[in-house]
Amino acid sequence: MFLGLFAGFSEEKPASSVPKAKVALDKLSEQQLIEMAQAGDKRAFGFIIRKFQKRLLRFIVGLVRSFDTAEDIVQEAFIRAYQALDRFKPNQPFYPWLATIARNLAYNHIQREEKSESLDKLTESGYDPQAIDLGPMEQMLDDESRKRYFKAVMALPAKYRSVFVLRHFEDMSYVDIASFLKIPPGTVDSRLYRARKMLMENLKDLL
């Protein structure tokens, strides 16, 4: 989806700590991949994109409700991450840093436009719940029930949807969610409770 952004780059310059010729990227640690990318290896950053793009897209779709908008945000997040890569510390987890960039872009979008799209329109524009990694609960649902589940999640008000997505899509702790959204942990708890209650009401015939 986004690899075309990094095609046609100049000759790679592998990091000294990584084997030079035709290294098998899937055998390297995340830290090694980041170090290679920081040293100018675009192939390594392309591998990082493939590793995180689906998870990040799932997260952003949950926040903005529009698949097309989420694709644009995720693409912009990867571009900004690449541009700021020299400031990233390779010994730190990469995904939280990347997700923070994407989250900030998503919230900028939410502030500009609160309108939501129905699941039918999302599907018409390419939204396919089966193409997104699902948790154990979602995997137990049949196709129609899964669509209803995602439609119910997308219909949640933004402040409830965001905590639900972070908790159930990203598997983040209450403390991490509070830090991520800059709200008190107690607010995370109350919003998550409210989100679950609304979902149970909307999906009570499936439960």
Write down the domain spans for the chain.
1-121, 134-207
What confidence tens digit (pLDDT) does each residue in 78-126 have? 999 999 999 998 888 899 899 889 988 987 877 665 444 444 444 444 4
Task: Please state the pTM of the whole predicted model.
Answer: 0.64
| Per-residue model confidence (pLDDT) at position 207 | 60
**Domain 134-207 falls in which CATH fold?**
Arc Repressor Mutant, subunit A (1.10.10)
List CB contacts of 114: < 8 A, sequence separation 6 or more.
158
Give the number of other Cβ atoms within 10 Å of residue 17's Cβ. Answer: 11
Mean pLDDT, the chain, integer: 76
Q: How far apart are CA 167 and CA 177, in angstroms?
A: 7
Taking the domain 1-121, which CATH number applies?
1.10.1740.10
